[in-house]
Amino acid sequence: MKEIYDWVPWFRVLAGKIVEGGRVDLIRKARQVEWKGENPALLQYGDEGIDPFSFFYFLASKNTTNQRESVYNSVGDVFEIQNRPDRYFFPVPKFNMLFHNGTVFHSDLLWRLFSQVAQDARTVDGKDFQEVLKIPNVGVAKLTQTLFLINAEYYLPIDETTKVIPDLPSDIEKRIKDDGYGKYQHILDMLKGTFPECRPCEINMFLWLQQRGKGIKADSKFFQVSTQAYGEENLDHWDNFRKNSYVYTGGPGSKRSWEEGGNYPLTRPTPGDIILVRTGVKSGRAIGIVYRNDYAEAEGINENSAIHVLWINKLKKELFGQTERSGFNEAGLKTYSAFEKAKYYKPSFNLIKSWTANSHGNDSEHEINVPKPEVDTLKSPLNQILYGPPGTGKTWNAANYALAIIEGKSLDELQSEDDKEVKQRFDELKRDGQIAMVTFHQNFTYEDFIEGIRPVLKDDKSGDVRYELFPGVFKEIAERAHDNRQKKYILIIDEINRGNIAKIFGELITLLEPSKRLRQADETTVTLPYSKKNFGVPDNLYIIGTMNTADRSIALLDTALRRRFEFIEMLPDSSHDGIGTDIEGVNCRELLAAMNKRIHFLLDREHQIGHTYFMGVKDMDSLAKTFRNKIIPLLQEYFYDNWEKIDLVFNNNVFVQKIPAPEDLGKSNLVDDTRGVYELLPVKNDKWKDPKSYQAIYEEKQGEADKTEQAT
């Protein structure tokens, strides 16, 4: 990524040529440049209007897509500057581009300060600095941005970008304007101390990204790399890392990286992740933020790829303890602590933590994604089933469980994030093939799940049929997991209890056991009956099933499956935040809790009503529809149309009405006086949208007289 700073020496050379040529030469050459557009502002005020500060700032304004190439090429030609860069990363002014107002000029002052800045920053006259700040339309941001353009090895802009630094006074520009160059120098020293050994151009680039939300985030992860990872004669690669602002590692298959499917997760770091660079296991070398990852993009894994970083700390200091020894990996707690507790790296970690807190709205409860001990992140069950009554969010939670396993997070961390962002990441992993989903049903077979032979029409017009071998969803994801061992893969099986387990898994049910997975102590493989290939289940493939207990009890589940899976019960949560407590006076949380309490005793705990049934209820209309179209049909299924029990669940409110025998039947012996006949309240009856009808379910039971009065 060296190219993003190539503009710095180019501007330094330009500044030197302007000082060397002097005033007359700058005026002549400024008129030779092919500026885009008619009557450029720099040339509108005669020779007096062409000073070096105005020239530099006006040139910076041409750093736009439709002007950059032609204007900068022309400047390079006019001033005879070679090796023009392809990228220019600096503030782009949009107005007030000149250091005068068109009537009053300050050429002598501007030339004097420009010469000092361009040649030796330490000889700047503070009085000249403060006098330039007094020029109309020249503020601290404009002046310091131009100083940065002239000499980005020494100066930093003090503008909106700089203000992302925590603890920097909000009125810093006013303080510099009041106190002058000494205050600016003090701020520069403070910022350079915050980013040890980093050049101002590196600091500004990082702050620019951070200010736009493209830097460190709450979900940023830590990775570590050794400068001595073998692959190129066991050399120390720090000089390359430092000069080119990137990291890489060596290994079999190429000079600079492991082959696909190797041990180093080079494709995993994404922009905003943090790279801890070390030499050996006791010496820290640098901290960088990922800017671009060649391995994960079009370049892929090859000897020219690298992970490009923005340095925030380049001190070589002893660490607090030892790190892990891997050439490159996601940093474990041991490596993280060795850096974080080291005196000279702690300020960088304080910055990182402050930015991650800011990404959560300055909520101090949210902390950086600190690496967890390996024993915690690796012990997610390989096989687990989420089970519970309908509507308890089993399928939704299966997606969260899958994402937590892949990202190495806890469920609490995921649930604190935005649901849309979580779903987006889940969908991306599905598209990439790292997560797969399937639903079991009565007709689902081994051929659908593992592999089978299917008929296919030939391409010609004969109508003949040929037969091809097709892999099932389980075999496909197992092979992907086997080919890419550094990643975790997830297969979600919805409604796992509705399929015939023995028929679907066949002989592979044994291979699901953790101890019989590939690379484990009792590794076991089988020969598949159709393809005759040897097959085993990799140890980086996780299976998450969901099971509706209203369909089948765990006690009735296939014994082989029960023994190989861990079961996580998911019961209704009547206190869920998504359930309203005041729907026109109806507390849906109390409503759900009351009904489930009765169902528990009238039937069992496995046939309760899930909380998701109430999460879309926003008004009385939607509450009425939920009861008529979802709750009542569910209870009919639960109680086999025993309306007397359904009426008890509703606390004998008005929804279920007992109908007396017609008078014309008289006292016929054919009429069973003990048998109750019930019907639902008519759909158009106003009681469906009366809050009192629902309050009666969870409030103290009313008398029969009251109930009769309500129904009339």
Tell me, what CATH number does 510's domain have? 3.40.50
Binned at pLDDT 50, 70 and 90, residue 359 comes out as very low
Average pLDDT over every residue of 657-673: 69
- The answer on 670 and 610 residing in a single domain is yes
Give percent of the chain above pLDDT 90. 50
In terms of domains, do 595 and 688 share one? yes
Highest mean pLDDT pick, 295-309, 379-393, 430-444, 452-466:
430-444
DSSP per residue, 254-289: BSSSPPTTSS--TT---TT-EEEEEETTTEEEEEEE
Arithmetic mean of pLDDT, 253-280: 75
Q: Are residues 204 and 239 in the same domain?
A: no
Confidence (pLDDT) at 200: 92
Residue 492, phi then psi, degrees to nearest 5: -100, 125
pLDDT single digits (tens) 108-136: 999 999 999 997 666 788 999 999 999 99
Is residue 497 scored above 50 in pLDDT?
A: yes
Q: Is residue 282 part of a domain?
A: yes
Least confident window among 239-253, 479-493, 580-594: 239-253
Co-location of 144 and 281 in the same domain: no
- Selection from 210, 171, 166, 213 nearest residue 190 by Cα: 166
pLDDT, tens digit, 9 for 90 and up, residues 606-634? 899 999 999 989 999 999 999 999 999 99
User: pLDDT grade, residue 553 (50/70/90)?
Assistant: low
Contact in structure between 372 and 405 (CB atoms under 8 Å): no
> Does residue 371 lie in a domain region?
no
Q: 378 pLDDT exceeds 50? A: no
Q: Is 582 inside any structural domain?
A: no
Max mean pLDDT range (259-268, 365-374, 498-507): 498-507
Average of per-residue pLDDT across 269-282:
92
Question: So what's the pLDDT on residue 364?
Answer: 37
Q: Which residues contact 418 (CB under 8 A, 6 or more apart)?
A: none
305 and 183 share one domain: no
Query: CB neighbours (10 Å) of residue 189?
Result: 10
Cβ–Cβ < 8 Å for 173, 155? no
pLDDT digits (tens, 9 = 90+) for 167-210: 788 888 999 999 999 999 999 998 888 999 999 999 999 998 88
Name 388's bridge partners. 548
**Which residue pairs, CB below 8 angstroms and at least 24 apart, start in 58-61?**
58/97, 58/98, 59/149, 60/90, 60/91, 60/92, 60/93, 60/97, 60/145, 60/146, 60/149, 61/92, 61/93, 61/94, 61/97
In tens, the pLDDT along 46-93 reads 999 999 999 999 999 988 888 888 999 999 999 999 888 777 777 788
| pLDDT value at residue 2 | 60
Average pLDDT over residues 570-584: 90
* Contact present, 689 and 707 (Cβ < 8 Å): no
Domain that residue 151 falls in: 2-211
pLDDT of residue 415: 74
29-38 pLDDT tens trace: 999 999 987 7
Q: 353 and 502 share a domain?
A: no
CB 511 within 8 A of CB 536: yes
pLDDT over 60 at 377, yes or no: no
Are 635 and 557 contained in the same domain? no
Provide the terminal-to-terminal Cα distance of the chain, rounded to the nearest Å.
Answer: 79
Mean pLDDT, rounded, for 353-380: 52
Alpha carbons 596 and 642: distance in angstroms, whole number: 17
H-helix or E-strand containing 399?
helix 394-407
CB atoms within 10 A of CB 321: 14
Domain C-terminal end among 211, 238, 267: 211
Task: Return d(Cα 654, Cα 45) in angstroms, integer.
Answer: 87
Mean pLDDT throughout 522-544? 93
Mean pLDDT of the chain: 85
- Which of 332, 366, 400 represents a domain boundary (last residue)? 366
Using one digit for the tens of pLDDT, what is the confidence trace for 361-374?
A: 433 333 456 665 44
pLDDT of residue 502 exceeding 90: no
Residue 708 has pLDDT above 50, yes or no: no
Distance CA 59, CA 53 (A): 10
Which comes out higher in pLDDT, residue 414 or 529?
Answer: 529
Residues 523, 479 share a domain: yes
Same domain, 417 and 285: no
CB 477 within 8 A of CB 537: no
Q: Residue 308 sits in a domain of what CATH number?
A: 3.10.590
Task: Please tell me whether residues 387 and 333 are part of one structural domain.
Answer: no
Identify whether residues 54 and 198 lie together within a single domain: yes
d(CA 4, CA 8): 9
Q: For residue 556, is pLDDT > 50? A: yes
Residue 374 belongs to some domain of the structure? no
Boundary-marking domain end, from 366, 400, 418: 366
What is the residue whose two structure tokens read 């496995």?
606
Question: Phi and psi for 50 in degrees, rounded to 5?
Answer: -105, 90
* Residue 629 DSSP class: I
CA distance 247 to 68: 30
Segment 208-214 mean pLDDT: 86
Domain membership flag for residue 372: no
Do the domain assignments include residue 575? Answer: no
Tokens of 205: 């680039």
Q: Please check the confidence at residue 669 and state whether its pLDDT lies above 90.
A: no
**Does residue 686 register a pLDDT over 50?**
yes
CB crowding 155-178: b at 16 or more within 10 Å, else e: bbbbbebbebbeeeeeebbebbbe
* Rounded alpha-carbon distances, angstroms, from residue 609 to 495, 572, 591, 621: 17, 7, 11, 20
Res. 421: pLDDT tops 90: no
- Cα angle 164, 166, 170; round to 5: 75
Domain count, the chain: 4
Is position 187 within any domain? yes
Per-residue pLDDT band for 353 (boundaries 50, 70, 90) equals confident
Residue 613 lies in a domain: yes
Q: What is the pLDDT of residue 368?
A: 55
Do 82 and 32 fall within a single domain? yes
Whether residue 705 is predicted with pLDDT greater than 90 in this model: the reply is: no
Instruction: Give the tokens for residue 462.
Output: 């004969």
